[in-house]
Amino acid sequence: MEILENDGEIWNVALPIPLRGLYSYRLKKEYAVKALPGMRVMVKVRGRSAVGYLIKKADPDKEYPYKIKNIDALIDSESLFPDELFNFLIKAAEYYMHPIEDVLKGALPPGIDPGFVNGKIIPPKIKVKLEKSFTANKIDKDKLTLMEKRSKKRFEIFNYIQDNSPARESILKLEFKNPSSLIKRLLEDNAINADEVPVVLDTIYTQTVLRDKSPELNDEQLTGVNEICESIQKGYKGFLIHGITGSGKTEVYLHAVKRALEFDLGVIVLVPEITLTPQLVGRYRARFGDRVAVIHSQLTQTARFNQWQLLKDGKINVAIGVRSALFAPVKNLGLIIIDEEHDSSFKQEKGFPYNARDMSLLRAKLAGAVAVAGSATPSLESYNNALTGKLRLLNLKQRATEGVLPEVELINLANNRTGPHGQSIISFSLYKEIVKTLEKKEQVILFLNRRGFAPNLVCKNCGYVEMCKECSVSMTLHKRPSLLTCHYCGYKKSPPRICPECGSKDMEDTGTGTQKVEELLQELFTDAKIARLDRDTGTGRKTEQILEDVRDGKVDILVGTQMITKGHDFKGVSLVGVLQSDVGLHMPDFRASERTFQLLTQVAGRAGRGDIKGRALIQTYSPTHQAVAAAKDHNYINFANQELVFRKELGYPPFGKLAVIRLNSKHSDKVEFASNDLKDKIMEILHNNKELPIWILGPSPSPLEFIQSRFRWQIFLKSPSYLSLKQFLEKIVPLIENPPSEVRIRLDIDPVSML
């Protein structure tokens, strides 16, 4: 840190204050050569010290009607962001009309911010753990021959280091049993050199990862690999891989990564949820060793900082993670992969509301890199981009293992209301198929997108339903321990034995959750080994243990939520059952059909991925609905074409742009008044800008009106073009930045959730 004096050039600085925009501060001339965009500075805001970011130099000819304050200090000796990443973050902030400082800060690892004591900067206290890393020296053939004769294991370790330099000590201990003494001898013989590097800390994926080789690719995979690899290093190009479940999309990604690394280019791989895709991370590490950094929220603060520093320094050049990995400071970025690109979890709902799928294309374009998005059920936005030529469409229509897609059968619950023991969860048809599957020593997956034991606790006498006191939703009953839980705010309480409304003791759980399914399965299949995978069974290593048990054949029936649909390759699963396929079909959301089709197709695709033929049974009350019928036939094209017609008629994405203004308050009357008042002001602005094609929908209460003790309203804005929408939003942003007392207002461009 260097304290600065008066006079010098003026910079635009982004500050952590509610008002959008940049602020002008003066930087002393002698420090100008050290100043770079992306560096942090200390400035005064209303008499208090604050950290800001240098964005760009101000126009030197601009005249200011006020006195320009001085920058008090430079905090960093270099920019925290590579030029390419910094430019991308600025563009992303502009696209979503979000404060730049918030975007820049969100791209940094936690714990990097300095503190202040009496106006002085206190650097962050982050202890970077180090480990040894080894490189091989050149050795003549005679010495190599002698080494092999004296110690075959020492010779193997030397060859490994030679083939995988630099090789970390932690990786060598995974690959070889007790290698320390042999490594010491290699150092004494000057066969290898040692260095100290930051530890690649990963608290989840600690199991041994053995190196592997690529399997032989089929013709479709080869075509895709060749097209993508030929584009790398030639500038921006976007691809969409539409590959059926089990078609080997990951192997195509791996070949593309290999080509990028051959050109010394960096790679970012985005996945929906890192804890749900251990196989994917394992495959990348098996292919590329410790050149892979895994970015996720379950790492410690020190670990996340280490990963960030290693990537920024270019010591690791492959970053795998969830949506925030898009902001990884990868050097010489040449390739971005978006796996399961259709997944809604790529959209950040809190804070900076960006969509990592869309922004990955922007970052790739700015970096001159290749972007590869892939899915068995592409989002309609991406599919339409492929149809219009914005993305190059690559099709993988056959399974990589030469297997076939599972046969899908619909079970109409209107005609199959009860099953064994008179219950209504598992129909007789599904029950009989489970029995047959278990008799063949094959595995079963049962999918239900509701966790807990039962969604409702109801009084049979008066109809009272136990609701969350903080949210306008019913509380879900859980067992082990017995608790009522709100899945929106986390509020918990013991279930009442008598009705609080009428005093009746006739309280009954209604509906079905995964815990109830697990309990029923234990009654129906007493000899079967049953496991459950949802948010309640644990995360991280606990989740991985359940998945390992399924892969190892230690589980006969796995029941779970969406967690079992993503990225898993269970060779022994021959039967998939969907218990309630209609749960999300009739939500107040124009994407409800698309999400249902994607979910059913993805979960059905878990069956028959090995040598055994797969089968999927979908229990439904809506067998003729286009989403369900198309999923039965594995017919994405038919579903997409029908849905695109519907979207075009109504002007919904991908044929129109949406923005939503969300308002919330602890007081229902205040948020309602603020919503209507804001609507009136917006309509007045629209009246004065009649040339802009803007449609206003609302205001109205959100479908989930009361969440976490706050009442929620929303106003939707729709336009056929982003430019028109943004031009209009720029005129109403001042209204959003100055909300009434006790009301919060938030702008979300390209919303994914309508709730």
Nearest-angstrom CA–CA distance, 426 and 419:
6
pLDDT in tens, 181-228: 888 888 888 888 888 876 765 544 444 455 677 888 999 999 999 999
Q: CB–CB of 292/320 below 8 Å?
A: yes
pLDDT at position 276: 59
The pLDDT of residue 293 is above 60: yes
pLDDT at position 539: 64
pLDDT at position 678: 96
pLDDT at position 203: 46
The pLDDT of residue 157 is above 80: yes
For residue 664, what are the contacts with CB-CB under 8 A and spacing of at least 6?
671, 710, 711, 712, 713, 743, 744
115-151 burial code (b ≥16 CB/10 A, e <16): eeeeeebeeeeeeeeeebbbebeebeeeeeeebeeee
278 pLDDT band, cuts 50/70/90, is low
Distances in Å between the Cα of 95 and the Cα atoms of 53, 354, 725 are 19, 9, 11
pLDDT at position 206: 45
For the chain, the farthest-separated pair of C-alpha atoms sits apart, in whole angstroms, at: 92
Q: 569 or 485: whose pLDDT is higher? A: 485
Calculate mean pLDDT across residues 269-294: 78
Q: In a 3-state reduction of DSSP, which class is residue 263?
A: coil
The pLDDT of residue 129 is above 80: no
pLDDT at position 742: 94
538 pLDDT band, cuts 50/70/90, is low
Task: Note every long-range contact of 193-197, with CB atoms under 8 Å and residues 24 or more positions apart, other chains counting.
Answer: 193/134, 193/135, 193/137, 194/132, 194/133, 194/134, 195/132, 195/133, 195/134, 195/135, 195/166, 196/130, 196/131, 196/132, 196/133, 197/130, 197/131, 197/132, 197/133, 197/166, 197/168, 197/310, 197/315
pLDDT at position 191: 87
Nearest to residue 740, comparing CAs of 634, 656, 665? 665
What is the average pLDDT value for the chain, to the nearest integer? 87
Q: Which amino acid is at 653?
A: P
Calculate mean pLDDT across residues 597-604: 92
Eight-class DSSP state of 31: G
Count how many Cα atoms sit within 13 Å of the Cα of residue 537 in the half-sphere of its side chain. 25
β-sheet bridge partners, residue 100: none
The pLDDT of residue 4 is above 80: no
- Helices 141-150, 152-163: axis angle to 10 degrees equals 130
585 pLDDT band, cuts 50/70/90, is confident
Task: Pick left, alpha or beta for residue 8 (phi over 0 → left; psi -120 to 50 → alpha; otherwise beta).
Answer: left
13 pLDDT band, cuts 50/70/90, is very high
Nearest to residue 510, comparing CAs of 448, 447, 463? 463
pLDDT at position 751: 95
The pLDDT of residue 644 is above 50: yes
Least confident stretch, 136-145, 270-279, 455-464, 688-697: 270-279
Distances in Å between the Cα of 108 and the Cα atoms of 17, 293, 356, 749 are 18, 15, 16, 23
Q: CB–CB of 549/533 below 8 Å?
A: no
pLDDT in tens, 670-722: 999 999 999 999 999 999 999 999 999 989 999 889 999 999 999 999 999 99
pLDDT at position 5: 47
SS (H, E, C) 287-315: HHHHHEEEECCCCCHHHHHHHHHHHHCCC
305 pLDDT band, cuts 50/70/90, is confident
Nearest-angstrom CA–CA distance, 388 and 464:
53
Nearest-angstrom CA–CA distance, 76 and 34:
10
Q: Which amino acid is at 272?
A: P
Calculate mean pLDDT across residues 548-563: 89
pLDDT at position 364: 98
Calculate mean pLDDT across residues 363-376: 97
φ/ψ (deg, to 5) at 705: -75, -35
pLDDT in tens, 370-385: 999 999 999 999 999 9
Count of other CB atoms within 10 angstroms of residue 615: 19
Token pair, residue 137, equals 């020296």
pLDDT at position 451: 79
pLDDT at position 310: 84
Strand order in the sheet with 392-396: 292-295, 318-321, 266-270, 333-339, 370-375, 237-243, 392-396
